[in-house]
């Protein structure tokens, strides 16, 4: 999936991770489910908007990974999407590979899986993507 095809909550989470900022409160509580991560990186559904905001302010950045691939002109970002659709979508961790010839988003269901996927995507991108001309 490309970023342009990704659901809005995913795009928003990745945008905030890339900017290095804290995601702002987002969504209508009647159509969105709010999630935080416990200290071990497991998603926890919360009904309290204040708890969600505190997580976004204080805890979100602990679960962001970034790998720069300067020779390929690419970046790999991994973060948690703290929102999901109220229809029962499960919260996901997102890994985004962005470069001159690639724009792909991968999902993981756990922080451990997301860390491993981030490592594999970065390693493969470094091997496969062409070097940028200086």
Q: How confident is the model at residue 21 (pLDDT cuts 50, 70, 90)?
A: low
Q: At 21, phi and psi to the nearest 5?
A: -95, 180
The model's pLDDT over 34-71, given as tens digits with 9 standing for 90+, comes to 889 988 888 998 888 788 888 888 888 888 899 999 99
Query: Between β-strands 74-80 and 83-85, what pairing exists: parallel, antiparallel or unpaired?
Result: unpaired
73/98 Cα distance (integer angstroms): 9
The model's pLDDT over 113-132, given as tens digits with 9 standing for 90+, comes to 999 999 999 999 999 999 88
Residue with token string 């342009």: 4
pTM of the entire predicted model: 0.81
| 132 in Cβ contact with 74 (< 8 Å) | no
Tell me the pLDDT of the chain averaged across its residues. 82
């Amino acid at each position: 999936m490309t970023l342009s095809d990704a659901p809005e909550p995913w795009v928003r989470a990745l945008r905030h991770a890339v900017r290095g900022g804290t995601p702002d409160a987002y969504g209508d509580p009647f159509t969105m489910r709010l999630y935080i991560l416990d200290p071990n990186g497991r998603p926890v559904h919360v009904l309290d908007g204040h708890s969600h905001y505190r997580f976004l302010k204080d805890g979100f950045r602990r679960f962001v990974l970034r790998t720069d691939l300067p020779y390929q002109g690419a970046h790999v970002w991994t973060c948690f999407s703290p929102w999901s659709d109220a229809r029962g979508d499960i919260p996901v961790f997102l890994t985004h590979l962005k470069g001159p010839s690639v724009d792909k988003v991968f999902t993981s269901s756990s922080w451990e899986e997301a860390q491993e996927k981030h490592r594999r995507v970065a390693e493969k991108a470094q091997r496969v993507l062409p070097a940028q001309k200086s």
